Amino acid sequence: MTTTVPPADTADVGTRMSRREVLQALSGLMVGMFVSILASTVVANALPRIIADLNGSQTVYTWIVTSELLAMTATVPLWGKMADLYSKKLLIQLSLGLFVVGSLIAGFTPNVEVLLLSRVVQGIGAGGMTALATIVMAAMIPPRELGRYAGIFGAVFGVGTIAGPLIGGLLVDTSWLGWRWCFLIGVPFSVISIALLQRTLHLPVVRRKAKIDWLGALLITSGVSTLLIWSSLAGNKFDWASGWTAVMVIGGLVLLALAVIVESRAAEPIVPLSIFRNRTVSLATIASVLVGVAMFGGTVFLSQYFQISLGKSPTVAGLMSLPMIFGLLVSSTVAGQLITKYGRWKAYLVAGAAVMTVGMLLLGTIDANTSVLVLSIYMAVLGVGVGMLMQNLVLAAQNDVPAHELGATTSVLTFFRSMGGAIGVSALGAVLASRVTSLTTDRLGPAATAGGGSAEVPDLSTLPEPVLRIVQDVYGIATADLFLVGAPIALLALIVVLFIKEKPLHTLSGDERRAQEEAAAKVAIH
């Protein structure tokens, strides 16, 4: 049974929010989204100081980043399912509250163990924010009008990505602040977001007499976490082809197989398997995984390329990402406006996947001597492709499912894109390490990689000039190879989106569609 209860501050839940009200509500969503992105990027330049102050190891260095990513990715489906059952407004405020708790613990952490725990709490909160922001937008705004707001998401994503490392470096270098403020800085933003959402977000509260499938949630989270932990450790702590790999991969797959069995029998599954009978959802999910692998797996190593091959400082390396972000912002904004105006969307998916593939191929030609201008053009091309493709995959899927499955569908796409990105980073990171080792051995001889030293990022300031040039050249070639590996994956995404069938965009918001579907169901019963 489902009942719709009007919130205290609205007189009529059937009245669609005006554009002014939507923009006011989006202000709270965007602040929250900015905070969740900032959490992942602000520590980038602060990690060496954090590890030194807390006496952490190289393994801890990696896990400060990975622990938040694991928690965020693994909990997205649960947040999405709860959004279909409970108050979206309450859930998004809860996710921000968890983020505040995690940030405060991290800011006052006495040791690395507590810091890792705090990053998990932050990740759970960020996972909720990541999933729920898109779900809430779909509830407020009809798919036909959603495109015009996509550029705002792109802008926030770009600013958070670029500003994070710069803010982190500034905080660390300011003596009266320090690295702890890399975590504490998100607290006031989160509180502001909670307050803004309380005042501006007016959605009907849907209460359903249903139980969360906690066993399914546990199995999905455990299975995904096992595979993500394996992908982050393989090639580093143990070989890809090893006993540990067999144990973790088989264990993760068994847990996920059990999750499928449990979910198929649950009254309210976390991930309704029925949504995969929908051709658009299935194809968009596959494309999201491929985009995650190609996009995140390749671009995450560009900063390292800027610093090692091109000899740029961390701050300059952060600024050099601007062309890609600018391309993403322009293409997502323009495509969104055109989709809203004409109601056609498939052409932008196809064009986005094609341009992304071209961008990957162009970046596959870079080396240590590539000019900043040429590199910027190649990155802008990749950004344009991603901007047209990524958010519109979600739009296509949301447009083709019943309103009561909007939350689950959105979270599934977000989840698989994040998982693809995490596995892509790990797998392509192993490719990078292997290429660096083999190229360094070829150029400098076996002694240069004795003891596995090539797996560590070299300190350029300690290298003699001839060796420095070789190392810069090696990292340039190895980074280009990553994009050549990613290009066929991007091409597969293009092939997949070609099979997505274009359907007219709904002119009703998610909540209006839900009310319509429930009314039709009652008529059918009587």
pLDDT one-digit tens code per residue, 117-139 = 998 999 899 888 878 887 888 77
User: Distances from the Cα of 387 to the Cαs of 147, 324, 383, 465, in angstroms?
Assistant: 12, 10, 6, 40
Residues 129, 193 contacting (CB under 8 angstroms): no
d(Cα 287, Cα 420) in Å, to the nearest integer? Answer: 10
- The 8 Å CB, 24+ separation contacts for 510-516 are 510/138, 510/139, 510/140, 510/398, 510/403, 510/406, 511/13, 511/139, 511/140, 511/203, 511/204, 511/403, 512/14, 512/16, 512/142, 513/402, 513/403, 514/206, 514/403, 514/404, 515/4, 515/14, 515/204, 516/403
What is the fold, at CATH topology level, of the domain defined by 277-508? Growth Hormone; Chain: A; (1.20.1250)
Residues of the chain below pLDDT 70: 1-17, 44-45, 57-62, 147-148, 150-152, 154-155, 157-159, 161-162, 204-210, 232, 235-236, 297-300, 314-315, 318, 426, 446-459, 461, 509, 525-526
Angle between the N-to-C axes of helices 112-140 and 19-41, in degrees from 0 to 180, rounded to the nearest 10: 160
Q: According to the model, what pLDDT value does residue 283 have?
A: 93
Q: According to the model, what pLDDT value does residue 428 have?
A: 78
Q: According to the model, what pLDDT value does residue 6 have?
A: 41
Q: According to the model, what pLDDT value does residue 459 have?
A: 64
Q: According to the model, what pLDDT value does residue 224 have?
A: 80
Q: According to the model, what pLDDT value does residue 236 have?
A: 65
Q: According to the model, what pLDDT value does residue 292 have?
A: 82
Per-residue pLDDT of 241-253, as tens digits, reads 888 989 999 999 9
Q: According to the model, what pLDDT value does residue 454 have?
A: 42
Per-residue pLDDT of 377-415, as tens digits, reads 999 999 899 888 887 888 888 888 887 777 778 778 878
Superfamily covering domain 1-211: MFS general substrate transporter like domains (1.20.1250.20)
Complete DSSP assignment for 185-202: THHHHHHHHHHHHHHH--
Which are the contacts of 197, defined by CB distance < 8 A and separation ≥ 6? 25, 28, 29, 32, 89, 92, 93, 96
pTM beyond 0.85: the answer is no
